[in-house]
Each structure stands twice: as C-alpha cells, then as structure tokens.
Amino acid sequence: MKNIMKINSIKIVLGSSLDEMINGKGDANFKDWLPNIYYQIMHEFKYKIPDINLLIDNSNQYNQYKIYLDNSLVSSFTVDPKCLYALKTDRTVIDFDCFELEPAFGIQCKKIFKSEGNMYLSKGCNVVNAYQLLSTDLTQKIRKQLE
C-alpha cells in the first residue's frame, strides 16, 4: 500500500495564453505529462500525490503559471509556450550570469530559441519546453515538501 502524501491539494493556475498547454493546442500538452509526474513521485518517494487541479484564470498574467500546494503559493513563473528553456544542471559549463533567476522561487533557466537547443545541451544544460519546465518545477516543489 502506498502512503498518501502529506499534501491534500495541488492546484496549477495558468494564464489565458497558456490554455494551449492543457487543451492540446500547439505541440505541448501538460495533461499528457501528468502521468509522468505521478509515476516519478510514486517511484522515487513511494507516495501517491493527490489529483492535480488545472485552472485557467483570465485575471492571472496571460503567460504566467502559479503552483499551489495546500493553497500556499509555492511557485510563480512566466513562460512562453513557443520557446524552449535551458535549465542549469550540475554538468552546466557556461556562465550562469546569463540565466534568469526567479528570486522568490529559485528557478534558474534561460529562454532560448529552438535552434539553440543543441548548443545548450552540449554545454550541460537540460533543454525543455514550457510544459516540461512546469513539470520540472512542480516535481521539485513536491520533492522539497517531502524532505
């Protein structure tokens, strides 16, 4: 029997321009990525997370997502669903001054053009699209909550 995580609710609020991330418009669909998040947390921590509630909020900034765990805001970041993002790893070998740091929540990434993806991969970065960035952010926040 899997343990139930000590988080009762997970809510992700997306700005109106990020509607395509959950409704299948474009090449990214966050709903398709959700099973991977559930599997990763169950496999890594042996915890079952509650269902993730996805909402579109027109009053939210149009390209911002917010993650709430038990109604506490744990992340807020602005993304462009048409771009890629280079994420810092322990293998990253480029000057990190060029990366954005979202100070309140600690996401270190740089928005890049699709044509730059291979160059950033060769420099040790993870290269992800907007829904993978959101997935990574959510997984990191859940990990932090479990530690």
- Give the CATH number of the domain where residue 57 resides: 3.40.30.60
Q: In sequence order, what are the residues at sequence separation of 6 or more whose Cβ sits closer than 8 angstroms to the Cβ of residue 36?
A: 135
Average pLDDT over residues 101-107: 55
Would you state the structure tokens that stand for residue 124, as one six-digit string? 């040790």
Total domains in the chain come to: 1
| Highest mean predicted confidence (pLDDT) among 7-16, 21-30, 54-63, 90-99 | 7-16
Against a cut of 0.85, is the pTM above it? no
Query: Predicted confidence band at 115 (pLDDT cuts at 50, 70, 90)?
Result: very high
Across the chain, what does the average pLDDT equal? 79
Domain extent for 84: 3-146
